[in-house]
């Protein structure tokens, strides 16, 4: 169950990365100057998802969970930060 939650959360995080990539391609901010950074980021996210899936399929669920936590923990921390900002409505001045 925990693996499935992590995998779904990682898929959502990967969808956010893909959204920003395609948005940047459409408005021109992703160009030949920074395409290498984007390619590395997309490859890393794909590698984590693929390796987590393969590890789980081979029965290494603990390693798969640990690998999926590499993306899930920062994404969850950012989600909590955004929710805190929405709920608390701090004054930034």
Record the tokens describing residue 24, joined without a space: 């940047």
Record the tokens describing residue 25, joined without a space: 């391609």
DSSP of the chain = -HHHHHHHHHHHHHHHHHHHHHHHHHHT-S-TTTHHHHHHHHHHHHHHHHHHHHHHHTT-HHHHHHHHHHHHHHHHHHHHHHHHHHHH-----
Mind listing the pLDDT tens digit for each residue in 12-43? 999 999 999 999 999 888 888 888 999 999 99
Domain boundaries, the chain: 2-88
Mind listing the pLDDT tens digit for each residue in 47-66? 999 999 999 999 899 999 99
Task: Identify whether the C-beta of residue 17 lies closer than 8 Å to the C-beta of residue 42.
Answer: yes
Q: State pTM to two decimals.
A: 0.83
């Amino acid at each position: 169950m925990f693996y499935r939650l992590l995998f779904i959360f990682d898929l959502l995080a990967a969808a956010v990365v893909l959204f920003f990539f395609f948005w940047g391609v459409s408005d021109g901010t992703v160009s030949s100057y920074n395409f290498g950074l984007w390619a590395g980021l997309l490859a890393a996210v794909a590698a984590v998802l693929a390796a987590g899936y393969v590890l789980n399929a081979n029965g290494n669920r603990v390693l798969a969970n640990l690998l999926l936590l590499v993306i899930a923990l920062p994404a969850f921390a950012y989600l909590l930060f955004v929710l805190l900002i929405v709920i608390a409505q701090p004054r930034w001045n």
